């Protein structure tokens, strides 16, 4: 290990870094913890990917009190935020603070595991395609890597999760997913009502939230945070994403022109954002918005997004209720699994994924 570490610190071998990070299961957390003073060249991003201070807007995304959601004013606030911002934070959402703290601690526990334990969940060793430990977004196709490790857990059933998810975090993650379901349904009901969808039957429910995936993301201390990113610019492919942040911060949302808005952590809050699937189903009325994560030079950061998605076998297109008044469809019908494959077969590239579904 001492020889490998020396090679890494001197940056004399790109292959050694790739082997250490990707194949041995150390991740970028391992790089961070050996005390690098400089950033390996694989992680140096193009200048246009870095958000400079002069590109940050002194604005904030809306904060909505979910305890007032039974009233028309709060419902209007949710819909307006989905239309204008694509992002908002919710407070008093009903998920107990203890549940949020437990899943954050469980995330730290997973990433404190020895590399040989995390390595068991790499693509080539994992007991299931639904459980995946990795780093960056898609290292095989990225020109510059992201400074992030993750474990991605696709929910199929309680039985499968109990059998296959990492035991150090499984119970807390499942509890968080269960407890968040009520608020997710409430938000979708409000957003659908605004689209004149008055009945959410089994088919509609499947289309909106037929599958779920949760990621535990870890952004270790970075030796040169001004040179790289935690996650590059992208929009999510979900219906909705529900994000739990810790207290460090680093999430940025694209505002007007080429300016960005920081989403500061708010104690006990959850960040909600519209995904591409909902943008397509609403025919562009609700906006999925480009966002990214910047790295930190002094603190480790975690984030925990739940992605609420159609099922892979579902076909997504503008809802018939949206088009009932004669509005012209902007998007064609696409198989959701094809849309997701298109997203993952390339590096992050802003909002370009949604072009896959646009009618030319």
- Using one digit for the tens of pLDDT, what is the confidence trace for 192-229? 999 999 876 778 888 999 999 999 999 999 999 999 99
pLDDT band at 3 (very low <50, low <70, confident <90, very high): very low
46 token code pair? 């193009």
Q: Mean pLDDT throughout 250-257?
A: 92
pLDDT at residue 143, as a whole number:
86
CA 65 vs CA 71, 91, 94, 256: distances in Å: 11, 5, 11, 25
> Between 170-194 and 97-112, two packed helices, what is the crossing angle to 10 degrees?
130
30-83: per-residue pLDDT in tens?
A: 999 998 889 999 999 998 889 999 999 989 999 999 998 888 888 999 999 999
Q: Are strands 251-254 and 260-262 parallel, antiparallel or unpaired?
A: antiparallel
Q: Mean pLDDT throughout 114-123?
A: 94
Does residue 12 have a pLDDT over 80? no
Residues 297 and 221 sit within 8 Å (Cβ to Cβ): yes
Could you tell me which of 85, 91, 138, 89 has the C-alpha nearest to residue 279? 85
pTM score, whole prediction: 0.94
Does residue 161 have a pLDDT over 60? yes
Rounded to 5 degrees, what are φ and ψ at 153? -125, 110
Residues 151 and 58 sit within 8 Å (Cβ to Cβ): no
**Angle 348-220-161 from CA coordinates, rounded to 5°:** 75
């Amino acid at each position: 290990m001492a020889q490998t570490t020396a090679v890494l610190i001197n940056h004399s071998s790109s292959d050694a870094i790739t082997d250490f990070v990707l194949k041995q299961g150390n991740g970028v957390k391992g790089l961070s913890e050996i005390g690098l003073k400089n950033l390996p060249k694989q992680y140096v991003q193009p200048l246009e990917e870095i958000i400079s201070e002069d590109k940050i807007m002194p604005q904030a995304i809306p904060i909505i009190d979910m305890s007032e959601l039974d009233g028309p004013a709060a419902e209007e606030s949710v819909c307006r935020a989905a239309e204008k911002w694509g992002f908002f934070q919710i407070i008093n959402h009903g998920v107990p603070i203890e549940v949020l703290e437990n899943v954050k601690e469980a995330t730290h526990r997973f990433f404190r595991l020895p590399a040989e334990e995390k390595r068991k969940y790499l693509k080539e060793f994992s007991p299931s395609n639904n459980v995946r430990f990795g780093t960056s977004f898609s290292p095989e196709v990225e020109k510059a890597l992201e400074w992030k490790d993750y474990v991605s857990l696709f929910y199929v059933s309680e039985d499968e999760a109990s059998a296959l998810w990492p035991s150090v975090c499984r119970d807390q993650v499942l509890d968080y997913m269960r407890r968040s379901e009520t608020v997710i349904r409430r938000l979708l009901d409000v957003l659908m009502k605004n689209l004149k969808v008055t009945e959410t039957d089994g088919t509609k429910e499947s289309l909106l939230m037929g599958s779920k995936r949760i990621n535990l993301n870890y952004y270790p201390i970075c030796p040169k945070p001004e040179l790289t990113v935690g996650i590059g610019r992208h929009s999510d492919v979900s219906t909705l994403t529900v994000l739990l942040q810790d207290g460090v911060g680093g999430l940025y949302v694209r505002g007007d022109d080429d300016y960005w808005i920081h989403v500061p952590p708010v104690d006990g809050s959850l960040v909600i954002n519209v995904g591409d699937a909902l943008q397509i189903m609403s025919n562009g009325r609700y906006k999925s918005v480009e966002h990214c994560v910047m790295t930190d030079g002094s603190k480790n950061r975690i984030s925990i997004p739940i992605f609420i998605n159609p099922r892979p076998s579902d076909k997504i297109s503008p809802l018939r209720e949206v088009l009932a008044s004669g509005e012209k469809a902007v998007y064609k019908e696409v198989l959701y699994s094809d849309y997701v494959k298109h997203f993952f077969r390339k590096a992050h590239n802003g909002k370009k994924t949604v072009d896959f579904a646009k009618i030319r």
